[in-house]
Structure 1
Amino acid sequence: MGDDGRRHIGTAERRDRLALRQRLAGAARAGSPEEVAGALVALHGTDPATVHLAVGARLADAAKTVSGTERALYEDGTLVRMHGMRHTVFVFPAELTAVVHASTGIGVAARERASLLKDMAAAGAPDAVWLAEVEESALTALARRGQATAAELARDEPRLKERFVYAAGKSYEGVHTVSTRLLRVLGVEGKVVRGRPLGSWTSSQFRWAPAPEHPELDPAGARAELLRRWLTACGPATEGDLKWWTGWPVTQVRRALAAIGAREVSLDTGTGYVAAGDTGPVAAPEPWAALLPALDPTAMGWQQRDWYLAPELRPALFDRSGNVGPTVWWNGRVIGGWAQRADGGIAWRVLDGTGVGREAEAAIGAEAERLAAWVGTTRITPRFRTPLERELSA
């Protein structure tokens, strides 16, 4: 206990919690993609390859990564790719879709629809009544087809091909089709989800599918449930971490913390929170290494990252928009990065100043071989390129 009576959770213990709860230590690895997603709450889905690579890094049998993840996503429906926090695309356990929609999606959706109508009005495009007709027609066509690309839906509802100029006269002026913006809005509204891609598991060309039915939940209760799950997986976390990850106003974060009876703890860098009943110590895992993909949910899990990622490493590992690239981990901290070469080999580098020895390098090498074995002939290029990834891939 600290001098103020609060439980103190130092950086070393935070790294131990990360290893175990993020399923990264060898003994903590999962048996299925559903188990991985449940442990992490959400897998980043903006880059299609990230979902599979994040699962593979945490499976006890990585050879089942692709078949198991595709089964869960496209056959059993136990995982769902949908818009979530901050209108980002994630993959969630199916039982969380209602929680995410009520806690986050409703508010984001209102802003997205208002933005679309505003942009259409500014461009002299048809009004909200016209858009509602197109929307109803598109959803009917999608229900009939089961899954469809935007181009296929536009053959059924030609008005989806209508174009309008966005931000006319500004430096970022562009031309949008109605389908591009409308399907995005329907995604955050929880009416459609991403279906099976047109190509392999690395393809970014997705079909759309009707969203699975789910009950309408009380938003405040849903926020409490989402925060409870996330703190269980990622706690301790600061108020800033929670506000950043959820995208909620700080008032909603504080109400959800109070609703779940979260416990305040002291950290080496200030004040954090853990879920109720989660103040006890954890056993340190065996030494471990991991190769995590770009946008991995662990690397992107907290806004304040100095406890696992030294600030001096960020220029090499992040792009200019703040997206993390592929990272190399040793015992709870980022020590370098990796990339796939054109010949399929996995190249990695420990960055200067991280001070690791032969044990770490041997473990990292073994993880690189494990990754290369299950990826096979598939070639992976992260959607967001970072300086070190570009250099290693060349």
Structure 2
Amino acid sequence: MSTARRRITPAERRARLVRRHLLAPSFRTKTPEEIADALVALHATDPATVYLSFAARCAEPEVAALERALYQERTLARIRCMRRTVFILPHGLAPVAYAATARSLAAKQRTQTAHQLHAACGWDERRYAAVEAATLAALAQRGAAGAAELAADVPELREQIVTFPGKPYQSRQRLSAPVLGVLAAEGRIRRARPLGSWTSAQFRWAPADPLPHLPAGEAKTELARRYVAAFGPVTVEDLKWWTGWNLTDTRRALAATGAEQVALDEGTGYLLPEDTDDRGPAADVEPAAALLPGLDPTAMGWRHRDWYLDPEHKKALFDRNGNIGPTVWWHGRIIGAWAQRRDGRLTWEPLAARPDRTARAAVEAEIARLTTFLGPTRVTPCYRTPLERRLAG
């Protein structure tokens, strides 16, 4: 006799989100490693996102703590993986994410770059290999270096090619960009400290420790398990979107986790077997506010978002490419947006009905907390959204 699937309501999902994604004071942690582990990975396309995601979830956030984890102790790793996007992950999870999402893409990138260099510069495989070897030797000698410094050591990296010839977005770039891009995609070099402050998008490069070779199937199962544990319940579409896998690989990896079906408003969802007890993380949590940055992993964690975001508000919060801007959360739901003005002042605006006094007070307290963290630093999101632009003035 069949058993009816357990139903999980949007309210229960929001309570899970607050607890697991550390969006209430009682759940905040002390270290960036704990935060990265809770969220699987921190979105790092915009360097400031990493620090602001950390600040929102840490009891006493300090820039130095995150820099220490990234650049001194290296307990966190910055790699390009899911959806060809740069993320920061716990060091031990980086090889899993690479094998599950990036290794096959890196091979394609190498082939494409080799063809590009042959067509534009006449480089054959031997010449390409010699330039890579010289680049790695120069980097080993320097320890860490920016692209311009490496181009000073390896003359071939200073050569320029035209990208996207004949297109409206045609441009010229140094060969350092594609050569270093392939080495980074293959995990042979890593992003070290930025050339400027923690908001800078220009990084030095450094030699990387070799990544262990993990079987792709096992890695996909482990990455899917970690995602479902942190974001569940999720749909097949959620997992496919978050990883960038095709539908076949998504279904295969999800099945291998042993995830069990539950009923959601969107249709069939999945939870890990140990995560179906009503007494678990879905228990009631205290109402709490959070200020999350653009591209935060919580806001970008699901393909289906209606249970925490009113569909009518998507146009104001997202750019044309689907990147979300800074958001204000209350009890697991997006209720507004925030921005930093040129004078450093933080401002916010609710999206619908005016929040009650308790919610407004909690948001203002978070604004004060973030203001203290930022100090004199000015942050402009890499991807501007309509409401963020207006609030920033």
SS across alignment from 1:81: strand
Task: Tell me how many residue pairs correspond in the alignment.
Answer: 389
Q: Distance in 1 between matches of 2:385 and 2:304?
A: 20
Amino acid at match of 1:271: T
Question: Is 1:279 aligned to residue 257 of structure 2?
Answer: no
Match of 1:195 among 192, 199, 209: 192
Q: Give CA deviations for 1:303-332 in whole Å, capped at 9, x if unaligned.
A: 111111111111111111111000000111
Q: Distance in 2 between matches of 1:262 and 1:125?
A: 51
Q: How does 1:367-386 map to 2 (within 5 A)?
A: 367-386=366-385
Relative to structure 1, the CA distance from residue 326 to residue 57 in structure 2 (aligned partners, 3 Å threshold; closer, same or farther) is: same
Cα drift, residue 4 of structure 1 = 5.3
Q: How does 1:104-183 map to 2 (within 5 A)?
A: 104-183=101-180
Tell me, which stretches of 5 or more residues in structure 2 are unaligned? none
- State whether residues 41 and 90 of structure 2, in contact with CA within 8 Å, keep that contact through their aligned partners in structure 1: yes
2:224 alignment partner in structure 1 = 227
Q: Distance in 2 between matches of 1:276 and 1:118?
A: 47
Cα drift, residue 129 of structure 1 = 2.6
1:54 alignment partner in structure 2 = 53
Q: Distance in 1 between matches of 2:3 and 2:108?
A: 42
Q: How does 1:339-358 map to 2 (within 5 A)?
A: 339-353=339-353, 356-358=355-357
Q: Distance in 1 between matches of 2:370 and 2:212?
A: 39
SS across alignment from 2:343: coil
2:241 alignment partner in structure 1 = 244
Q: Give CA deviations for 1:191-213 in whole Å, capped at 9, x if unaligned.
A: 11111011111111110112233
Q: Which moved more, 1:120-129 or 1:108-117?
A: 120-129
- State whether residues 102 and 222 of structure 1, in contact with CA within 8 Å, keep that contact through their aligned partners in structure 2: yes
Q: Give CA deviations for 1:335-360 in whole Å, capped at 9, x if unaligned.
A: 1100111221110011134x521111
Cα drift, residue 214 of structure 1 = 3.2
SS across alignment from 1:319: coil
Question: Is 1:91 aligned to residue 88 of structure 2?
Answer: yes
Q: Give CA deviations for 1:238-281 in whole Å, capped at 9, x if unaligned.
A: 11110111111111111111222111111012011112311122
> With structure 1 as the length reference, what TM-score do the two structures score?
0.96
Q: Which moved more, 1:254-263 or 1:15-24?
A: 254-263
Question: Is 1:79 aligned to residue 76 of structure 2?
Answer: yes
Q: Distance in 2 between matches of 1:292 and 1:184?
A: 29
- State whether residues 187 and 210 of structure 2, in contact with CA within 8 Å, keep that contact through their aligned partners in structure 1: no
- State whether residues 292 and 328 of structure 1, in contact with CA within 8 Å, keep that contact through their aligned partners in structure 2: yes
1:312 alignment partner in structure 2 = 312
Amino acid at match of 1:58: R
Q: Distance in 1 between matches of 2:116 and 2:164?
A: 7
1:303 alignment partner in structure 2 = 303
Cα drift, residue 364 of structure 1 = 0.4
- State whether residues 199 and 379 of structure 2, in contact with CA within 8 Å, keep that contact through their aligned partners in structure 1: yes
> With structure 2 as the length reference, what TM-score do the two structures score?
0.96
Q: How does 1:355-366 map to 2 (within 5 A)?
A: 356-366=355-365
Cα drift, residue 80 of structure 1 = 1.2
Q: Distance in 1 between matches of 2:211 and 2:111?
A: 24
Amino acid at match of 1:357: D
SS across alignment from 1:334: strand
2:15 alignment partner in structure 1 = 16
Q: Give CA deviations for 1:105-157 in whole Å, capped at 9, x if unaligned.
A: 11110222222223334435423332221111111211222211011111111
SS across alignment from 1:72: helix
- State whether residues 186 and 192 of structure 1, in contact with CA within 8 Å, keep that contact through their aligned partners in structure 2: yes
Amino acid at match of 2:306: D
Amino acid at match of 2:133: E
Question: Is 1:204 aligned to residue 201 of structure 2?
Answer: yes
Amino acid at match of 2:368: E
1:388 alignment partner in structure 2 = 387
- State whether residues 187 and 211 of structure 2, in contact with CA within 8 Å, keep that contact through their aligned partners in structure 1: no
RMSD of aligned Cα (Å): 1.4
Amino acid at match of 2:165: A
Amino acid at match of 1:79: L
SS across alignment from 1:9: coil
Amino acid at match of 1:298: T
